[in-house]
């Protein structure tokens, strides 16, 4: 699937860009829950800012990645786009998402994800 390289690359960038979100000490309970990633619906994820997504994800990168992945899928579906089967395209989108969230933690995360998905995606013909 062409979307997989983007999502994997976004995950790698989000892990590397730890400064994109405020970092706080995790409690033992949060550390235990880090292994499971709850399902995040698009309806729950759409209104979140970058900072709110970080809090909603219990300050857990796997949970933030789940939110970003959900939003990227919404953007791709709504715009009839596909991600090029190119690792660099995904890395580029991930770097952009991390940088924009760091620059403006109160920006809507979906707007940022949509912006960078559109920047690297290709139009598909159905």
| 3-state helix/strand/coil string of 56-77 | HCCCCHHHHHHHHHHHHHHHHH
Q: Provide CB contacts within 8 A for 103, sequence distance 6+.
A: none
Q: Where are the domains of the chain?
A: 3-20+39-123
pLDDT at 23 over 60: no
Res 72: pLDDT:
92
Per residue in 99-123, pLDDT tens?
A: 999 999 999 999 999 999 999 987 6
Mean pLDDT in residue range 69-98: 89
Res 100: pLDDT:
98
pLDDT at 19 over 80: no
Burial of 10 (0-12, 13-18, 19+ CB in 10 A): buried
pLDDT at 17 over 90: no
CA 43 to chain centroid? 15
Tell me the pTM.
0.70
Per residue in 25-41, pLDDT tens?
A: 344 444 444 455 556 78
Q: Provide CB contacts within 8 A for 90, sequence distance 6+.
A: 5, 6, 7, 8, 9, 10, 83, 120
H/E stretch holding 81 reads: strand 81-82
The four Cα atoms 58, 110, 69, 41 give a dihedral, to 10 degrees, of: 70
Res 123: pLDDT:
60
Mean pLDDT in residue range 83-96: 85
Res 114: pLDDT:
97
């Amino acid at each position: 699937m062409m979307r997989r390289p983007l999502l994997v690359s976004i995950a790698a960038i989000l892990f590397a860009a730890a400064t994109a979100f405020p970092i706080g000490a995790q409690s033992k309970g949060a550390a235990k829950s880090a292994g499971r990633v709850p399902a995040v619906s698009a309806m729950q994820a759409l209104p979140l800012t970058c900072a709110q997504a970080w809090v909603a994800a219990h300050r857990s990168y796997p949970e933030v990645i789940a939110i970003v992945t959900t939003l990227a899928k919404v953007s791709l579906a709504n715009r009839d786009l596909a991600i090029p089967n190119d690792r660099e395209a995904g890395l580029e989108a991930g770097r952009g998402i991390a940088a924009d969230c760091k620059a403006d933690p109160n920006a809507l995360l979906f707007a940022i994800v949509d912006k960078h998905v559109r920047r690297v995606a290709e139009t598909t013909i159905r």
